[in-house]
Amino acid sequence: MATIKRISGALVVGTGMSGVKMNEIVWVGKIGLIGEVIRLEGDDAYIQVYEDTSGLFVGEPIEPTGQSLIVELGPGLLFNAFDGIQRPLEKIREEKGDFIERGVHTVALNREKKWTFEPIVKKGDKVGPGDKLGKVQETPSIVHYIMMPPNMKEGVVKEARKGDFTIEEPVVILEDGREIKMFHKWPVRIPRPSKKRLRPVVPLMTGQRILDFFFPIALGGSAALPGGFGTGKTVLEQTLAKYSLVDVVVYIGCGERGNEMTEVLVEFPELEDPQRGGPLMGRTVLVVNTSNMPVAAREASIYTGITIAEYYRDMGYNTLLLADSTSRWAEALREISSRLEEMPGEEGYPTYLHAKLAGFYERAGRVETLGKGDEQGSVTVVGAVSPPGGDYSEPVTQSTMRVTGALWALDTDLAHRRHFPAINWLRSYTLYYPLIEKWYLENVTKDWSEYRRWAGEMLQRDAELQEIVQLVGPDALHDHERLMLETGKLIREAFLQQNAFHEVDASCPTDKLFGMIKIIRFFYETAEKALKEQTATIETITTLPELEEITRLKELPVDKFNEKVKEIEASLVAKLLGEKKAA
């Protein structure tokens, strides 16, 4: 009989464990705490326990289950919040109260609710792994496709049933007698297969000007979002969840403060979906693992979230996975590693930290799905990182930057100046732009790259001039350089700053974005011409009321935007180049 031999925090060593497998789930102790086997040594097994081990004692029984850590995939995932090992929080609250008791065993998906199943296949059809068998209207905004599990061999349909069923009732029966239900299980540590990985050539539009214009990410790409305390990581991730042009959002609160996750749980069900109408939770799955929950469950929460995201990708949806934050996950790895007495790497993190992070981010991608046809889906991953003291040289940030395609570097100084989103435009980068540039040129404007280059050069020159100003003051600059400073200020305040809580400015469509940068460049070129022809002085230019109007454009609804821009353009020409030239 398997029993507990040693207890060290979240790590339990069991003896008499011959026959168990790596990553097998076991019930630990008399109350049945959930644990996972992470090392085997002879007859002993090292188990990371996903619950608080207080009160366990040596000699208590351990019961193997024969299964690895799995998630249930089927109707009922959306509009729901789970903990790191996919226990439904609302169901636990109804049954057990506001606090999760230890040893709670419950199924993830509702077994009693009936869903209306409409078959896509018919008798005699040949079906294989990943094929769509039917559909269920999971929420008003998302159709849930019931698929043949990827690990199931092909067969011929004997019966496809139509009507209302629970997820445990068979909806498709094959000629060889196999029954297919509306849900299946999948081990979280194994990536779900696809037919083919595709090049990331389509951008993910986020509604955030600094991201869509300067540092875009491709559908199926990955981005690192590092930032110290108070730089706005959580607000930015929640904004991405609300306004990104994706079908499904999976939000993982990994080791975050309880009050932040409470805000998400309370706020998300109240939010209107700006794309499809109805509540935002209608296309959102929350995986909640707060900082006061057992540390080992943080690691599981990341894999639980990305497996759910891959499941919706396989239906042909574009899915956005937001992990906040992977630093807390890495801290869990470090704690478990130290209890295993493994050789520590840099700053005490395990030497395999980089491999673990790479394995997670490589599950992002745009793919051709496994079923019939050429259907495509994607998982885009944005991982927040919380470097201690904002130090980007620490191991988690460095490892994340090496395996992601975009860096959105949050800056403490910008946050202190109330510039949000506090993304440092001189430190951030994207590797996706050469791949998605063609999309912008074909779908927005052929001038996109030229304006992006010009704005980037202006910000670079502005940063250089700011250093000179701090030493000698603005009066020492030439008029042309002072104009550059004013233009840089406009780009920073009128374009890059964005109010996540403003009903209009929270999200900016691409056409309006380009119109804003276009009017800023128009101001610069008109003022430059006025200085050259001496029809206006730099003092006149920097005190124009039109500058304030340009800054306020971001708060203007799209239907009034173009008219206001034309008005500003006409006013600038009249005031800077004279009435004669304006005519």
- Model confidence at 95, pLDDT cuts 50, 70, 90, reads confident
Q: What is the mean pLDDT of residues 127-138?
A: 95
Beta pairing class for 126-127 and 142-147: unpaired
Q: Which of 12-21, 112-121, 285-294, 326-335 has the lowest mean pLDDT?
A: 285-294
* DSSP code for 423: B
> How far is Cα 219 from Cα 379, in angstroms, rounded to an integer?
7
Query: Higher-confidence residue: 578 or 442?
Result: 442
Q: Cα–Cα–Cα angle for 213, 270, 74, nearest 5°?
A: 85
Single out the residue of 425, 531, 427 nearest to residue 477, CA to CA. Answer: 531
Q: Which of 237-251, 281-295, 408-422, 498-512 has the lowest mean pLDDT?
A: 281-295
Beta pairing class for 376-385 and 222-226: parallel
Residue 308 is encoded by which pair of tokens?
């759910």
Residue 437 has pLDDT above 60, yes or no: yes
> How far is Cα 318 from Cα 220, in angstroms, rounded to an integer?
8
CA dihedral 477, 483, 489, 491 (to 10 degrees): -140
What domains are there in the chain, each with its CATH number?
3-68 (2.40.30.20), 73-94+195-430 (3.40.50.300), 110-182 (2.40.50.100), 448-582 (1.10.1140.10)
Residue 184 is encoded by which pair of tokens?
């299946």
* DSSP code for 389: G
Q: What is the mean pLDDT of residues 66-72?
A: 92
Other C-beta atoms within 10 Å of 316: how many? 17
Q: What is the mean pLDDT of residues 337-348?
A: 90
Tell me, yes or no, if the pTM score tops 0.75.
Answer: yes
Single out the residue of 368, 372, 307 nearest to residue 132, CA to CA. Answer: 372
**pLDDT value, residue 581:** 46
Q: What is the mean pLDDT of residues 46-56?
A: 90
With beta carbons less than 8 A apart as the criterion, state whether 118 and 132 touch.
Answer: no
Q: What is the mean pLDDT of residues 67-96?
A: 89
> How far is Cα 58 from Cα 44, in angstroms, rounded to an integer?
14
Query: Higher-confidence residue: 105 or 249?
Result: 249
**pLDDT value, residue 271:** 74
**pLDDT value, residue 583:** 39
Q: Where are the beta strands (DSSP E) in 330-422?
A: 365-368, 376-385, 406-407
Single out the residue of 409, 530, 435, 440 nearest to residue 479, CA to CA. Answer: 530
> How far is Cα 431 from Cα 27, in angstroms, rounded to an integer?
45
> How far is Cα 14 from Cα 391, in angstroms, rounded to an integer?
39
Find how far residue 136's CA is from the centre of its chain: 26
Q: Where are the beta strands (DSSP E) in 408-503?
A: 429-430
**pLDDT value, residue 582:** 42
Query: Higher-confidence residue: 444 or 255?
Result: 444
With beta carbons less than 8 A apart as the criterion, state whether 133 and 119 touch.
Answer: yes
Element spanning 576, H or E: helix 558-577
Residue 244 has pLDDT above 90, yes or no: yes
With beta carbons less than 8 A apart as the criterion, state whether 84 and 301 touch.
Answer: yes
> How far is Cα 474 from Cα 284, in angstroms, rounded to an integer?
50
Q: Which of 55-59, 224-228, 291-295 has the lowest mean pLDDT?
A: 291-295
The end-to-end CA distance of the chain, in Å, is 95
**pLDDT value, residue 108:** 92
With beta carbons less than 8 A apart as the criterion, state whether 317 and 248 touch.
Answer: yes
Give the orientation angle of helix 433-443 with respect to helix 448-472, to 10 degrees.
120
Burial of 102 (0-12, 13-18, 19+ CB in 10 A): middle
Residue 411 is encoded by which pair of tokens?
């800056």
Residue 211, by phi and psi: left (phi above 0), alpha (psi -120 to 50) or beta?
A: alpha
Number of residues written out for the chain: 583
Give the orientation angle of helix 479-490 with respect to helix 510-533, to 10 degrees.
170
With beta carbons less than 8 A apart as the criterion, state whether 310 and 363 touch.
Answer: yes
**pLDDT value, residue 184:** 95
Q: Which of 103-107, 491-495, 532-536 has the lowest mean pLDDT?
A: 103-107
With beta carbons less than 8 A apart as the criterion, state whether 218 and 201 touch.
Answer: yes
Query: Higher-confidence residue: 198 or 83?
Result: 198
**pLDDT value, residue 168:** 94
Burial of 54 (0-12, 13-18, 19+ CB in 10 A): exposed
Residue 117 has pLDDT above 60, yes or no: yes
Looking at residue 34, its amino acid is I
Query: Higher-confidence residue: 165 or 105?
Result: 165
Residue 9 has pLDDT above 70, yes or no: yes
- Model confidence at 579, pLDDT cuts 50, 70, 90, reads low
97 Cβ contact partners less than 8 Å away, ≥ 6 residues apart: none
C-alpha dist (Å) from residue 303 to 71, 307, 326: 10, 6, 12
Query: Higher-confidence residue: 190 or 292?
Result: 190
- Model confidence at 319, pLDDT cuts 50, 70, 90, reads very high
Burial of 203 (0-12, 13-18, 19+ CB in 10 A): buried
Q: What is the mean pLDDT of the chain?
A: 91
* DSSP code for 267: H
Find how far residue 139's CA is from the centre of its chain: 21
Q: What is the pLDDT of residues 324-333, one digit of tens each?
A: 889 988 988 9
> How far is Cα 478 from Cα 460, in angstroms, rounded to an integer?
17
> How far is Cα 415 from Cα 419, in angstroms, rounded to an integer?
5
Element spanning 138, H or E: strand 132-139
Residue 469 has pLDDT above 50, yes or no: yes
Q: What is the mean pLDDT of residues 470-494?
A: 91
**pLDDT value, residue 251:** 92
Single out the residue of 186, 134, 123 nearest to residue 156, CA to CA. Answer: 123
Query: Higher-confidence residue: 261 or 358?
Result: 358
With beta carbons less than 8 A apart as the criterion, state whether 411 and 427 touch.
Answer: yes
The full 3-state SS of 322-388, as one line of letters, equals: EEECHHHHHHHHHHHHHHCCCCECHHHCECCHHHHHHHHHCCCEEEECCCCCCCEEEEEEEEEECCH
